[in-house]
């Protein structure tokens, strides 16, 4: 369980603003269900409900970007029946939620490889993104068949295909536009539920300077108050981006500031 820190910034009474971008590993669904003597997939179903609540709570708190890990590149290694249940749940969630998102001004983005998805799922993803593209409220990104290593590789491949001269050398600014989340600022706050303290190949490039929050709460139990607790913890941090405390004048300097 993350503890509240009392650092210099808190002592000075200057809390950070609400994070603009929160990235979440929604973990612990299977164990949550098992504890209740239910099949693992029941936990995944409950997980969709938790996501709905947390997105609403993020909107209320004024968060602009929420990015959630729904299925990792490595999750294909799970038993076939769980993988197929998760694909079905994703399909079903797109069918039932997208209309509400369109009305609630939520822009939906899906990142990850689509190569192993069914044509029906790919079509729904494309439709969902198109239907919500004009919304300018919260941006919800769902990472599905996503891996941070996949992202860096696909970005590098696309950069070199489009700008072959870069093979002689390129920098961060050349690669950045090709990363899957080029449209969003880097996450300010990372939350992982379920008790594990690892990144599991999530946004490894983009999390370089993100504040990391781990909680033992299982994802189906994570709710608005739990989110507020994580945000309050974040607001008490001091983000130095390599500098020292005394150099910090504004409350939230960007990495290259
Ligand atoms: C996270 O919960 C959801 C997905 C990976 C799809 P888990 O399914 O990993 O749940 P635990 O970690 O086994 O409890
Ligand atoms: C990470 O959770 C992926 C998602 C939440 C979608 P896992 O439960 O698959 O992570 P590991 O394999 O235990 O690290
Ligand atoms: Mg897990």
pLDDT in tens, 118-168: 999 999 999 999 999 999 999 999 999 999 999 999 999 999 999 999 999
Q: Mean pLDDT in the chain?
A: 94
Distance CA 144, CA 141 (A): 9
Q: Tell me if 148 sits within 8 A of 75, measured CB to CB.
A: no
Distance CA 256, CA 153 (A): 24
At 141 the three-state DSSP class reads strand
Q: Which atom of ligand 2 is nearest to the CA of 28?
A: 8
The pLDDT of residue 2 is 42
The pLDDT of residue 28 is 98
Residue tagged active-site, from 75, 104, 135, 201: 75
The helix (run of H) or strand (run of E) holding residue 44 is helix 40-61
Is the pLDDT at 4 greater than 80? The verdict is: no
* CB of residue 148 inside a 6 A radius of ligand 1: no
State whether the Cα torsion 22-230-98-121 is positive or negative.
Answer: positive
Two tokens at 93?
A: 């969630």
Counting ligands in written order, the one closest to the CA of 71 is 2
CA 236 vs CA 10, 145, 231, 239: distances in Å: 6, 33, 9, 10
Q: Which atom of ligand 2 is nearest to the CA of 70?
A: 6
* CB of residue 75 inside a 6 A radius of ligand 2: yes
The helix (run of H) or strand (run of E) holding residue 55 is helix 40-61
Class of domain 17-231: alpha beta
- Asked if 105 is an active-site residue, the reply is no
At 85 the three-state DSSP class reads helix
**pTM score above 0.85:** yes
The pLDDT of residue 255 is 54
Two tokens at 133?
A: 């593209």
Q: Which atom of ligand 2 is nearest to the CA of 25?
A: 5
**Domain boundaries defined on the chain:** 17-231
Is the pLDDT at 193 greater than 80? The verdict is: yes
Residue tagged active-site, from 27, 145, 151, 188: 27
The helix (run of H) or strand (run of E) holding residue 110 is strand 107-111
Two tokens at 194?
A: 């379920």
In the reported structure, the alpha carbon of residue 30 is separated from the centroid of ligand 3 by a whole-number distance in angstroms of 7
* CB of residue 76 inside a 6 A radius of ligand 2: no
Is the pLDDT at 1 greater than 50? The verdict is: no
């Amino acid at each position: 369980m993350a503890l509240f820190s009392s650092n210099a910034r808190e002592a000075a009474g200057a809390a950070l603003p609400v994070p603009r971008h929160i990235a979440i590993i929604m973990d612990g669904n299977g164990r949550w269900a098992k504890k209740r003597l239910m099949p693992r997939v029941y936990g995944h179903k409950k997980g969709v409900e938790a996501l709905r609540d947390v997105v609403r709570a993020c909107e209320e708190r004024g968060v602009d970007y929420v990015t959630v890990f729904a299925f990792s590149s490595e999750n294909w290694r799970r038993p076939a029946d769980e993988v197929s249940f998760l694909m079905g749940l994703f399909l079903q969630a797109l069918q039932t939620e997208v209309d509400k998102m369109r009305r609630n001004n939520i822009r939906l983005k899906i990142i990850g490889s689509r190569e192993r998805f069914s044509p029906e799922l790919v079509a729904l993803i494309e439709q969902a993104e198109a239907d919500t593209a004009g919304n300018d409220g919260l941006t919800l990104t769902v990472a599905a068949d996503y891996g941070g290593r996949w992202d860096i590789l696909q970005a590098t491949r696309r950069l070199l295909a489009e700008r072959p001269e870069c093979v002689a050398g390129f920098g961060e600014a050349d690669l950045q536009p090709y990363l899957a989340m080029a449209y969003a600022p880097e996450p300010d706050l990372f939350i992982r539920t379920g008790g594990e303290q690892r990144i599991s190949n999530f946004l490894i490039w983009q999390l370089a300077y993100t504040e990391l929050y781990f909680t033992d709460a299982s994802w189906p139990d994570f709710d608005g108050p739990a989110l507020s607790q994580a945000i309050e913890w974040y607001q008490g941090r001091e983000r130095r981006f390599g500098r020292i405390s005394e150099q910090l004048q504004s409350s939230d300097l960007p990495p290259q500031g």
